[in-house]
Structure 1
Amino acid sequence: MSIKDNLSKIKISIPDTVTLVAVSKTKPNDAVLEAYHAGQRVFGENKIQEMTQKWEDLPKDIEWHMIGHVQRNKVKYMAEYVSLIHGVDSFRLLAEIDKQAKKHKRVIPCLLQMHIAEEQTKFGLNETELEEIIDSDAFKNLENIKVFGLMGMATFTSDLDQVRKEFNFLKSIYDNLKQKLPEISVLSMGMSGDYTIAIEEGSTMVRIGSSIFGARNYS
């Protein structure tokens, strides 16, 4: 099946209220353009250098989402154009995004990444760390970032009950946060293998790559 066919199949399977982020990491520009010409406008990358090159080369009405782990010293390279940063996992990173956004007279939308999986290799905040950030005066003084919601990745496992439990846990954290920050509206959870469960558990944004573009070539 073509990228266009894959996209339309996925779009039929997700509600209109859920944003589809097409994960184009490692994929060439022509693959992104094929999805673009099929109507897709939101793309996700996990390496700032690759995303910046694509931003320079490809149509300017594309929304670029940074979905990978972010190093503070790389923020400056995407501050001019990035539409949403998914993986904010520390106050220091948030402060750096704020600093770089200010240089471009922008307010950069961010998601705070929560650690919900069993794997220790995954990044993210725990509930205590989330509360410490949100309740701090330093957070309230950041004028060039806006927290739009939360992001999390479930354990990579075939145990779908566990995946569901982790998404359910993240949704409960999101609901609690919404009482403090009523303006939040994004819960980014679910990828190619588990997005249907994520949507059932309340996801408003899914990150899908291989089901659109096919298997990745990392060589």
Structure 2
Amino acid sequence: MVNSNVWKSLTASFKEQHVTLVAVSKTKPVADIQELYDLGQRDFGENYVQELSEKESQLPADIRWHYIGHLQSNKVKYIAPFVHMIHAVDSFKLLLEINKQAAKNNRTIDVLLQLFIADEETKFGLDEKEIIELLDYYDAQKADLQHIRICGLMGMASNTDNETQIRAEFDRLYNVFLNLKQSSFLGKNYFKICSMGMSSDYKIAIEAGSTMVRIGSMLFGARNYNQ
């Protein structure tokens, strides 16, 4: 069951703040996604390749699908024909594979680099040094990487009730984003996405500069992973 009132409230607020809402629909049925689509939502986020592929084939073609989970290189080929954006790119190997599969499908895929900001070993991502190294590799081979476009950064804060810690982690991500925007991507208007914030911490994320938030449970209700 979709909470339409929450969706209307969020979209109205985010429009004023120039923030993109990605509705995280993982584990949720096609009917729920269709219901939110009918309200006007177009950006949806999924974490699992097989689930995303199955849903894409059953839903309207103008949905902008965001792959927001940790992506293995050997799975890129399954979503390359249609995915709108791949979040959480955390290696140059993955970047190369996305470019390869995008080329096969004669399209360009937008991606975000994942910065590790959480105080948790279970989270994925690159540190600042690794992002600079990846961008050095990217610049050196840019002529052969014409089918990807790095549009910004994403990150996940620690799973904690400590708002001071969460704010500091988001501030760190936003500062790295700004530094790259003013250096490696100077003059590149497409480098404009700082994706951070979920149902539990999106307000703090937006205050810290987020331009894209990933909201799931507020819109669709709690998930039942045993279904």
**TM-score, normalised with respect to structure 1:** 0.97
1-side partners of 2:212 and 2:58: how far apart? 26
Instruction: Give the superposition deviation at 1:139.
Output: 4.9
Look up the match of 2:150: 147
2:141 matched to which residue of 1? Answer: 138
| Contact 2:115–2:126 (Cα < 8 Å) also in 1 | yes
What pairs up with 1:41-60 in 2 under 5 angstroms?
41-60=42-61
Secondary structure of the equivalent of 2:83?
Answer: coil
Instruction: Give distance in 2, aligned partners of 1:2 and 1:145.
Output: 34
Check 1:6–1:144 CA distance in 2 against 1; reply closer, same or farther (3 A cut).
same
Q: CA deviation at 1:133?
A: 1.1
Shift of 1:14: 2.4
Q: How far is the alpha carbon of 1:140 from its aligned partner?
A: 5.7
Does 1:160 pair with 2:168?
no
Two-structure CA RMSD over aligned residues (Å):
1.2
Runs of 4 or more, structure 1, over 6 Å off, are none
> Could you list the per-position Cα deviations for residues 110-160 of structure 1 after superposition, in whole angstroms to 9, with x for gaps in the alignment?
000000000011000001110011122135631110000000000000000
The residue aligned with 1:178 is 181
* Residue type at the aligned position of 2:162: D
Give, in whole Å, the separation in 1 of the partners of 2:167 and 2:77.
Answer: 36
Contact 2:112–2:153 (CA<8 Å) still a contact in 1? yes
Could you tell me how far apart the structure 2 residues matched to 1:139 and 1:89 are?
18
Matches within 5 A, 1:1-219: 2-16=2-16, 17-136=18-137, 137-139=140-142, 141-179=144-182, 180-182=184-186, 183=188, 184-219=191-226
Contact 1:127 1:173 in 2 (8 A): yes
Aligned positions, number: 219
Q: Which consecutive unaligned segments of at least 5 residues does structure 2 have?
A: none
Cα distance in 1 between the residues matched to 2:43 and 2:130: 30
Answer with 14-23 or 28-37: which moved more: 14-23
Secondary structure of 2:169's aligned partner: helix
CA distance in 2, matches of 1:153, 1:198: 10
What SS does structure 2 have at the residue aligned with 1:87?
Answer: strand
Check whether the contact 1:64–1:82 (CA below 8 A) recurs between aligned residues. Answer: yes
Q: With structure 2 as the length reference, what TM-score do the two structures score? A: 0.94
CA contact (8 A) 1:3 1:34 kept: no
CA contact (8 A) 1:133 1:139 kept: no
Give CA deviations for 1:161-201 in whole Å, capped at 9, x if unaligned.
10000000000000111021132110000000000110000
